[in-house]
Amino acid sequence: MNCMTMKVNAKSGLNVRMKPGLSGEFIKLLSNDTIVTVYESKDGWSRIGVGQWVSAKFLILDEKDHSYFQLASDRDINYNDILYEQLKRDEGSRLQCYQCSAGKPTIGIGHNLQANYLPVCTKEIWDANPKQKLDYEKKVVNCWEGLVITEEQQRKLFNYDIEQCEIKLQEEFSWYTSLPDNQRCSLCNMCFNLGLGGLKGFVKMLDFLKAGEYEKAADEALQSKWAKKDVGARAIRVTRQMRTKSEV
């Protein structure tokens, strides 16, 4: 489960309810600037504990929580580094091959070995994994099992995957490269997660991004099943960045 640290942004306080929605029984009032942990979000409400829900629109990212991304004020952090930290958290990071939720052999940060093989560091990875190389050449089922890579190789695989993701975005959306870095970053994050086909389903959000209406684009994304059911807190992080106008 992806959790995140948030802060109450409501001068008069924020009601905590037993279930999401105004019909939920009132439990207590949180004062402004209270720090909470968000465990999941749906339909505009965030769960901050067992049977404790608050309206998500009165929560903001805790500025002390830099585990997801840093905004443009930190010029020592570049665009690719921000994406790396985002997706390392959102997708997970494993240096040994595993099966993803879709049953695909995966390694590093969401790198699908079945679809993308080893596009970089091929020789050095095979040299360190001779059994897997032999099994692969013999087309053995589960030939990737036990394959391991280094942190450096993980980063190189990630860089390749992001490059391919951005190529697809540029080919599909002529306006993509003209977006400010924060909006590009958030869109690339979504594409990495959903695939280009899934991302194209966000028609209104994409139209708003193209028009430079980033607040509306973020609001539209939060109305989706992806935000309400599939990724929870990740959607809050991504859309917060989507709203941010400053450059990375």
- Continuous H helices in 41-121: 79-91, 113-116
Give the Cα separation of 243 and 186 in Å (integer).
9
Which domains, and CATH codes, for the chain? 4-61 (2.30.30.40), 78-172 (no CATH), 173-247 (1.10.530.40)
Indicate yes or no: pTM above 0.85. Answer: no
Give the Cα separation of 192 and 80 in Å (integer).
13
More confident residue, 126 or 91: 126
Q: How far is CA 98 from the centre of its chain?
A: 20
Q: How confident is the model at residue 5, as a pLDDT?
A: 74
Give the Cα separation of 46 and 35 in Å (integer).
13
pLDDT reading at 69 higher than 90: no
Q: How confident is the model at residue 245, as a pLDDT?
A: 67
**What tens digit of pLDDT does each residue of 6-43 get?**
789 899 999 999 999 999 999 999 999 898 888 877 77
Q: What is the mean pLDDT of residues 54-80?
A: 62
For residues 172 and 200, the answer to whether their CB atoms sit within 8 Å is yes
Query: Which pLDDT band holds residue 3 (cuts at 50, 70, 90)?
Result: low
Query: Which pLDDT band holds residue 138 (cuts at 50, 70, 90)?
Result: very high
Tokens of residue 198, six digits: 């899934």
Q: How confident is the model at residue 38, as a pLDDT?
A: 81
Q: How confident is the model at residue 72, as a pLDDT?
A: 41
Q: What is the mean pLDDT of residues 87-110?
A: 89
Residue 135: count of CB within 10 angstroms of its CB: 18
Q: What is the mean pLDDT of residues 85-103?
A: 87
Burial level of 138, CB count in 10 A (0-12/13-18/19+)? exposed
**What tens digit of pLDDT does each residue of 141-191 get?**
889 999 999 999 999 999 999 999 999 999 999 999 999 888 999 999 999
Average pLDDT score, the chain: 87
**What tens digit of pLDDT does each residue of 217-226 get?**
999 999 899 9
Distance spanning both ends of the chain, measured CA to CA: 27
